[in-house]
Amino acid sequence: MELSVAWSVLVLVAGLWNLIVWPRFGQRIAKDPRARDAEGRATRFLTVHLVLIGISLLLGVALVVLGVLTLV
């Protein structure tokens, strides 16, 4: 696949953005009182957010790889 340098950099930055922002969001979600029930078990609130964060991190890795590969 060939992308212009500008598009390659944009894809790379988008991937890095996901890898930087989502882990910090995950830390805040884990500390949220809605994340655990009275017995300390994970709630749906935490589970849904962890799934969303995981998908976003996978997409971030894919974007970084794509950005790097198209720059080379």
Q: pLDDT digit string (tens) for 19-34?
A: 999 999 999 999 999 9
Residue 30's beta-bridge partner residues?
none
Q: Is the pLDDT of residue 1 over 80?
A: no
- pLDDT digits 0-9 by tens, 57-67: 999 999 999 99
Tokens (6 digits) for 24? 């910090």
Specify the pLDDT at position 60.
Answer: 98
- pLDDT digits 0-9 by tens, 35-46: 999 999 999 999
Cα dihedral sign, 18-24-28-31:
positive
